């Protein structure tokens, strides 16, 4: 596939790009700072401004087969980037006839009653509010073939290649495992229309995704 990654210069985006290329995909690596991304035969850096219009975003999608939103402002620009930027990219994808859309979110982002009482996310409630609106739009209004991936707290620990996907408690996730889970979603059509709450676990990522009902 030709895959568009919004936020390709970020912590998750860089590893996701590597994993997608390893799986045989070509990546349009979109970022505010495309100069920080190495261009290769399979990676094509492009400039993306999430403050721009839907029309401008659609111009850089370049007939992609699938779109990932893993961009984030790390708290500096939550409304324009994490919330409305995601919505505009959804609309751009829909305008261009790209139905497959995968978004990186946060555990329990669609369940605000859990935010203040869940360790690890009780300190990032503004971020969860932004993700709440982005996820809701994707699920209920976009009309896209979506997958929402909701990890727990991201860590720099080495990946284990094993996760748990369930409705249970929040946990932690190495960035490498989150990126690989995002990449492997494309191989599992059963994840379309699903919100995947994940944490480090004992099940290999492919098997955990294959078991999603």
Of 68, 127, 137, 146, which is the active-site residue?
127
CA distance 177 to 181: 6
CA dihedral for 170, 175, 176, 180, sign (positive or negative): positive
- CB-count exposure of residue 94 (10 Å: 0-12, 13-18, 19+): middle
* 3-class SS of residue 153: strand
- CA dihedral in degrees (39, 41, 43, 49; nearest 10)? 60
What span, in angstroms and rounded, lies between the C-alpha atoms of 126 and 82? 11
| CA dist list (Å): 79 to 15, 129, 150 | 25, 9, 19
The beta strands (E) that lie in 71-138 are given as 100-104
Q: Is 147 left (phi over 0), alpha (psi -120 to 50) or beta?
A: beta
Closest CA to 159 of 183, 175, 181: 175
Residue 146 is a catalytic residue: no
* Residues tagged active-site: 127
């Amino acid at each position: 596939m030709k895959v568009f990654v919004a936020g390709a210069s970020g912590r998750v985006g860089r590893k996701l790009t590597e994993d997608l290329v390893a799986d045989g995909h070509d990546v349009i690596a979109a970022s505010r700072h495309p100069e920080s991304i190495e261009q290769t035969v399979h990676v094509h850096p492009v400039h993306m401004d999430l403050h721009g219009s839907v029309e401008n975003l659609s111009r850089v999608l370049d007939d992609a087969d699938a779109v990932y939103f893993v961009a984030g402002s790390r708290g500096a620009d939550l409304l324009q980037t994490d919330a409305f930027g995601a919505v505009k990219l959804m609309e751009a994808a829909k305008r261009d006839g790209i139905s497959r859309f995968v978004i990186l979110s946060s555990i329990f982002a669609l369940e605000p009653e859990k935010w203040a009482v869940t360790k690890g996310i009780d300190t990032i409630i503004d971020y969860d509010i932004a993700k709440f609106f982005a996820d809701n739009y994707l699920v209920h209004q976009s009309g896209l073939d979506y997958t929402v991936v909701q990890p727990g707290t991201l860590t720099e620990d080495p990946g284990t290649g094993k996760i748990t996907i369930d409705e249970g408690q929040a946990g932690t996730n190495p960035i490498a495992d989150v990126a690989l889970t995002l990449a492997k979603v494309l191989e599992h059509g059963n994840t379309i229309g699903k919100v995947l709450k994940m944490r480090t676990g004992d099940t290999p990522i492919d098997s955990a995704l294959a078991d999603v009902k």
